RNA sequence: GGGGAGAUUCCCGAGUGGUCAAAGGGGGCAGACUGUAAAUCUGUUGGCUUACGCCUUCGAAGGUUCAAAUCCUUCUCUCCCCA
């Protein structure tokens, strides 16, 4: 098989391919152009979006050309694939702002050179489509009977599917056709939930242009206990440091299950495969160390090595392995205020370790709150300047949530 | 257009006038055990409160009643059947 595809396969990226042999042959003949599309429906990319981009880095490094497509047009419609409810309609301004943010985040991760790797936005050809022309030229190639048989719609046929969403597949297919015509794009990649849309695009190109194109999907990554990967209690694992701090991001990977370490190292880092196998084969202390490596590597890729180092130092300090306490997430505390004393419950809420005072109270009552490593015994405890240690007070909720209250003059 | 079913706390889902801040499960949080893992066990899970208690919540708005998630009226939305 083609080298580039072999790499993807060995790292667990390949879920389905329309014609793996044919694609392999094509890629052996020379660089191809491929694309991956993503609808900017939120303010930040999250780790679930990143699987295709990791694959793109591998493919780009193997010499292939990549179009990173922003679904500025399709986001106006909303993809019903795999969704149980209709997507919220978002404003055009919001979509454009999201797309700009997505590209900025990707710019750190991919090397956009404008020639072998560049972006496009499908609103350029979708926004001003003429409805009648579109139906005559494109719509006639789609069989409603066939569309209804797609797995992606099955669920929605139960709960309801509006016409706007039902059109989504036509638009994504049209994207592929446009990118084929404009850039000679021969391969579309994406998450496995995109399978139906990708296949539809390939068929459209075959009918309209008589050309053979390909599709390749990646597994929807789940954790070994069956949850969607990258979901935290607070929501998705975002790339935006303001939405998910590098420390929290690091901790997510630091705490993955043993069974997921190898898989995640393969997909979310660029460490050599042999090294990964070596790292992940251990048990107990070794597998635990491998998680630390995983966390550092992924954080470095997304937030840079400086942030990864800081997060690692903070984690070590928080969990008693030395490290640098300065890097632990912190809030600042006014010195005068501290001198007067602050109720323990208020302090925990302020530090973000509890959402409400009730929750903070519960935490204290259940013995989960500690100050400077000492368990808080009463919910009426007052924290004042005497708790001050090297200019900061260490607050901990449970074993893992920690915050440093830095005293400010 | 006609007929029927439904909307409950983060999710699923019980609850048909007071004992309901509302069973049970899931999820979350905390404790024990550990390796910052998993599994298991225990506690907890609307807000404010030291507490008595007070406030907000059962699709929306009104009404009946000493008292409503529960009864009545109107409205909104969802699903099913018939045309």
Question: What are the tens digits of pLDDT across the range A53-97?
Answer: 999 999 999 999 999 999 999 998 878 776 666 666 778 999 999
User: Has residue A226 been placed in a domain?
Assistant: no
A128 in a domain, yes or no? Answer: yes
Same domain for A319 and A374, yes or no, is: no
A 208-227: CB within 7 Å of strand B: 225
The answer to whether the C-beta of A386 is closer than 7 A to strand B is no
Whether A295 and A180 map to the same domain: the answer is: no
The three-class DSSP label of residue A89 is coil
CB proximity A362–strand B (7 Å threshold)? yes
Question: A139 and A9: one domain?
Answer: yes
Q: Which nucleotide is nearest to A257 (CA to C1')?
A: B37
What pLDDT shows up at residue A379?
A: 86
Alpha-carbon A154 to chain mean position: 26
Q: Which residues of chain A have pLDDT under 70?
A: 82-88, 155, 158-160, 224-235
The reply to whether A24 and A127 lie within a common domain is yes
**CA A231, A235, A238, A242 torsion: positive or negative?**
negative
Question: Beta partners for A334?
Answer: A408
A162 CA from B73 C1′ (Å): 33
Q: Are A378 and A277 found together in one domain? A: no
Q: What are φ and ψ of residue A131, in 5° steps?
A: -60, -50
CB contact at 8 A, A77 and A168:
yes
In a domain, A354, yes or no: yes
Is residue A188 in a domain?
Answer: yes
Q: How far is it, in rounded angstroms, from Cα A80 to Cα A191? A: 14
Do A140 and A59 share a structural domain?
yes
Find the helix or strand (DSSP H, E) in which A384 lies. none
Q: What are phi and psi of A207, to 5 degrees?
A: -70, -45
Could you tell me where the DSSP H helices lie in A184-214? 195-209
User: How many Cβ atoms sit within 10 Å of the Cβ of residue A283?
Assistant: 8
Number of domains in chain A: 3
Q: According to the model, what pLDDT value does residue A51 have?
A: 94
- CATH at residue A341: 3.10.290.10
User: Residue A328's pLDDT is what?
Assistant: 92
A67 shares its domain with A177: yes
Query: Which nucleotides of strand B lie within 7 A of protein CB?
Result: 28-32, 34-39, 43-50, 78-80
A268 CA to B59 C1' in angstroms comes to 44
CATH number of the domain that A198 lies in?
Answer: 3.40.50.620
Identify the pLDDT of residue A74: 93
Query: Do residues A296 and A205 share a domain?
Result: no
Dist. CA A217–CA A223, nearest whole Å: 18
Establish if A373 belongs to a structural domain: yes
Residue A224 lies in a domain: no
Residue where one domain finishes, among candidates A285, A302, A324: A324
Q: What is the pLDDT of residues A217-265, one digit of tens each?
A: 999 887 766 666 666 656 678 999 988 899 999 999 999 989 899 999 9
Q: Print the domain residue range for A291.
A: 231-324
For residues A204 and A237, membership in a common domain is answered with no
pLDDT at A151: 75
Which nucleotide shows the minimum CA-to-C1' distance to residue A225?
B38
CATH number at residue A287: 1.10.240.10
Residues A240 and A200 placed together within one structural domain of the fold: no
Told to judge if A87 belongs to the known catalytic residues of this protein, a careful annotator would answer: yes
* Proportion of chain A in helix, strand, coil states, percent, rounded to 5: 50, 15, 35
Asked whether residue A225 is domain-assigned, the answer is no
One domain for residues A144 and A164: yes
Say whether A231 is catalytic.
Answer: yes
Residue where a domain stops, chosen among A324, A355, A378? A324
Give a yes or no: residue A91 inside a domain. yes
> Within this chain, do residues A268 and A386 fall inside the same structural domain, yes or no?
no
Domain-ending residue, one of A290, A324, A358: A324
Note whether A105 and A45 are within 8 A (CB). yes
């Amino acid at each position: 098989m083609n080298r580039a595809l072999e790499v993807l396969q060995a790292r667990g990226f390949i879920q389905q391919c329309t014609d793996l042999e044919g694609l392999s042959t094509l890629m052996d003949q020379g660089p191809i152009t491929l694309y991956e599309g993503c609808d900017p429906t939120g303010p930040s990319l999250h780790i679930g979006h990143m699987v295709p981009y990791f694959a793109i880095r591998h493919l780009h490094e193997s010499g292939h050309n990549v179009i990173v497509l922003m679904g500025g047009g399709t986001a106006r419609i909303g993809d019903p694939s795999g969704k149980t409810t209709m997507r919220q309609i978002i404003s055009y301004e919001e979509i454009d702002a999201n797309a700009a943010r997505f590209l900025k985040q990707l710019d750190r991760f991919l090397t956009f050179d404008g020639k072998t790797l560049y972006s496009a936005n499908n609103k350029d050809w979708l926004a001003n489509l003429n409805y009648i022309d579109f139906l005559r030229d494109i719509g006639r190639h789609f069989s409603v009977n066939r569309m209804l048989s797609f797995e992606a719609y099955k669920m929605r046929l139960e709960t309801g599917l509006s016409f706007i969403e039902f059109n989504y597949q036509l638009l994504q297919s049209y994207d592929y056709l446009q990118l084929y015509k404009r850039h000679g794009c021969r391969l579309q990649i994406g998450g496995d939930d995109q399978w139906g849309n990708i296949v539809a695009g390939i068929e459209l190109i075959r009918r309209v242009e008589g050309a053979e194109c390909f599709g390749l999907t990646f597994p929807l990554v789940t954790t070994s206990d069956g949850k969607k990967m990258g979901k935290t209690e607070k929501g998705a694992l975002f790339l935006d440091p303001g939405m998910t701090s590098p420390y929290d991001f690091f901790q997510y990977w630091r705490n993955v299950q043993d069974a997921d370490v190898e898989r995640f190292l393969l997909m979310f880092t660029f460490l050599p495969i042999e090294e990964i196998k070596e790292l992940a084969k251990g048990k107990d202390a070794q597998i635990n160390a491998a998680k630390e490596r995983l966390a550092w590597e992924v954080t470095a890729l997304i937030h840079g090595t400086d942030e990864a180092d800081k997060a690692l130092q903070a984690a070590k300090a928080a969990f008693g392995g030395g490290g640098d306490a300065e890097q632990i997430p912190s809030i600042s505390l006014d010195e005068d205020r501290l001198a007067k004393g602050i109720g323990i419950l208020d302090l925990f809420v302020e530090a973000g370790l509890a959402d409400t005072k009730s929750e903070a109270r519960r935490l204290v009552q259940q013995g989960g709150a500690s100050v400077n490593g000492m368990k808080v015994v009463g919910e009426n405890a007052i924290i004042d300047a005497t708790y001050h240690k090297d200019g900061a007070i260490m607050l901990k909720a449970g074993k893992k949530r920690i915050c440093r209250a830095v005293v400010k003059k």
